[in-house]
Structures are given as C-alpha cells and as structure tokens.
Amino acid sequence: MSEQAVVSLRNVTKSFGAGGVTALQSIDLDVRPGEFVSLIGPSGCGKSTLLRVVGDLVEPSSGEVIVNGKSARQARRDRDYGIVFQDAVLYDWRTVEKNIALPLELLGWDKGRQTERVRELLELVELQGFGSHRPWQLSGGMQQRVSIARALSFAPALLLMDEPFGALDEMTRERLNSELLRIWQASGSTVIFVTHSISEAVFLSTRTVVMSRRPGRIAAIVDVDLAQPRNADTREEPRFFELVTEVRDRLREGGLDEESTAPGEGELVVSEETP
C-alpha cells in the first residue's frame, strides 16, 4: 500500500522547541495517486504543520515522510510539489505574468510556451487583462488567484494548498472550488487541501481527514462518496448534507467546542485557543 502511495506518513510527530508545543502526534496517513484529501480541524491543531511536513518546509521531530517513493527533501528538489498558501506570496517587482511564469522559467521552458501557458492560466483564474499589472495593484482575492495559477502552471504531481480560498468572498470561493476540481480531474494530480470550512472540505474531497485539538492527531477519516464530477447541484444533494453533518460530528468528538451553529451553515468558526 505505501509503495503506491503518493504520500506516506508513518508515526509522524512534531514538537516546536525544547519543552514547546507538540503540534503533531503519531500521524499515520497514506494518500493514494489522484486523491483529493482535505485536512480539517480547529485552529492551531496542526493542519499547516502537517502540510509543511509533507512539503519539506518543516522537519518532523520523529517519524517518516515518503513522497513519490522518496524523501520529502528529494521530492522538493525534484519539483514534485505545487504549493499555495493562505496569503499569496508574490514578488512585487514582477508583473502578474512574470509571477505565474516563475516556475516555468526555473524549469527552462522556452518563452513562447511560457507565454501560451500564462495566457491559459490567466483565463482560468479570470484575470485576463491583468497580466502586466503588479501584485500590489490587485485585491487580495485577485492576488490569491495569481498564486493559484502559479502553483498550477507546471501541473505538479502533488498540490499542497493551505486555506487558499479562506480570504475570498463566498461566490469567488465556490467558483474557484469548482475550477480546482475541474483542473484536478483534468491533470490527474493529487491534492492535499487544508481548510476550516466543513462544506468546502466535503465539496472538494474524496476523503476528509478530521484532526483533533492540539496535539494534532487524526480523529477520523470520512470517505466522501459524492459522485464526480461535482457541480453546484452537488451542494443541494441530501448526501452532501449528511456528509457535512458527519464531518461536524467527528470534529465535535475530536474536542472542538466552538463552532458556528447557524442551521444549514457548513462553515466552521473557531478562534485561536489561548495557551
């Protein structure tokens, strides 16, 4: 099983500093090729840390991380990852086009191919006409779409996304959710997606990993058996609501005690816990 997994985590633990916070404890997880796995849990439970461990941006304190059959370090060197963070990390001195083309430049694509790909991507994230703008001339939501376009530019084997749509309005978020699914299906890439929105997790994923309050452990894994391809109608299906309820229940069992109770609301509102 672990041989064919894109990501294999074995007994992964992460503590910060001497006697510091244990962010992750005994994490075991296999992500298979083509899966869309969401990580959900209360603020501070270690979702970002887990994603960063997979992406070789944080070293685990113990345990094993295998990506595409090699170490996370080697996978990063081989450019197996596309990474999108909550806040767009863009270079202000580069135009939008040049930001999106950065990975392609590093991969040595010729100029013509780069230009063509950037044009496609600008269309995909609906930023046609903004290619020669600078990031600071765009709204936060637009910047985030540039960052998503950049991560998708070279069709990475593994896309790591940390609450990429958290700062966007609901309409834009739902549209980008659908686009992300379309791209995911077309590219066949594997996605690990951090979110604090229950409805977003259910709509997007093939499996939702529910994490417990700190120290982060896997409290439950919910298989999301909604038919593909998913679209706006998916959000109206009875099964969608059942799964939203199931994830919410698993979160409660995981020790989450603060959340929105608005009926029919798939959103999870949690505040940063005090140490």
The owner of tokens 């930001």 is 99
CB burial of 206-239 (b: ≥16 within 10 Å; e: otherwise) equals: bbbbbbbbbbbbbbbebebebeeebeeebbeeee
Comparison of 48 and 153: residue with beta carbon closer to Mg ion: 48
Candidate ranges 46-54, 70-78, 87-95, 126-134; the one touching ligand ADP (CB under 6 A)? 46-54
Give the nearest distance from C-beta 107 to Mg ion in angstroms: 29
Among residues 10, 13, 21, 124, which is the contact residue for ligand ADP, using CB under 6 A? Answer: 21
Among residues 25, 38, 48, 177, which is the contact residue for Mg ion, using CB under 5 A? Answer: 48
Which 22-41 residues touch ligand ADP, going by CB under 6 A? 23, 41
Does 214 bind ligand ADP (CB under 6 A)? Our answer is yes
Does 153 bind ligand ADP (CB under 6 A)? Our answer is no
Does 48 bind ligand ADP (CB under 6 A)? Our answer is yes
* Burial of 170: CB neighbours in 10 Å, binned 0-12, 13-18, 19+: exposed
Does 43 bind ligand ADP (CB under 6 A)? Our answer is yes
Comparison of 50 and 202: residue with beta carbon closer to ligand ADP: 50
Give the nearest distance from C-beta 180 to Mg ion in angstroms: 18
Residues that bind ligand ADP (rule: CB under 6 A) add up to a total of 12
Comparison of 48 and 212: residue with beta carbon closer to Mg ion: 48
Angle at 60 between CA 198 and CA 200, to 5 degrees: 10
- DSSP-assigned beta bridge partners for residue 193: 38, 161
The owner of tokens 């996370």 is 72
Does 46 bind ligand ADP (CB under 6 A)? Our answer is yes
Beta strands 207-211 and 36-40 are parallel
Tell me how far apart the alpha carbons of residues 18 and 21 are, in angstroms, rounded to a whole number. Answer: 9
Among residues 5, 44, 96, 254, which is the contact residue for ligand ADP, using CB under 6 A? Answer: 44
Residue 210 contact, options Mg ion, ligand ADP, none, Cβ 5-8 Å cut-off depending on partner type:
none
Q: Count CB atoms within 10 A of the CB of residue 67.
A: 26
Q: Where are the beta strands (DSSP E) in 173-232?
A: 190-195, 207-211, 218-223
Task: Work out the angle between the directed axes of helices 111-124 and 140-152 (0-180°, nearest 10).
Answer: 130
Comparison of 110 and 272: residue with beta carbon closer to ligand ADP: 272
Give the nearest distance from C-beta 49 to ligand ADP in angstroms: 3
The owner of tokens 């100029």 is 111
Catalog residues that contact Mg ion under the rule CB under 5 A.
Answer: 48
Catalog residues that contact ligand ADP under the rule CB under 6 A.
Answer: 16, 21, 23, 41, 43-49, 214
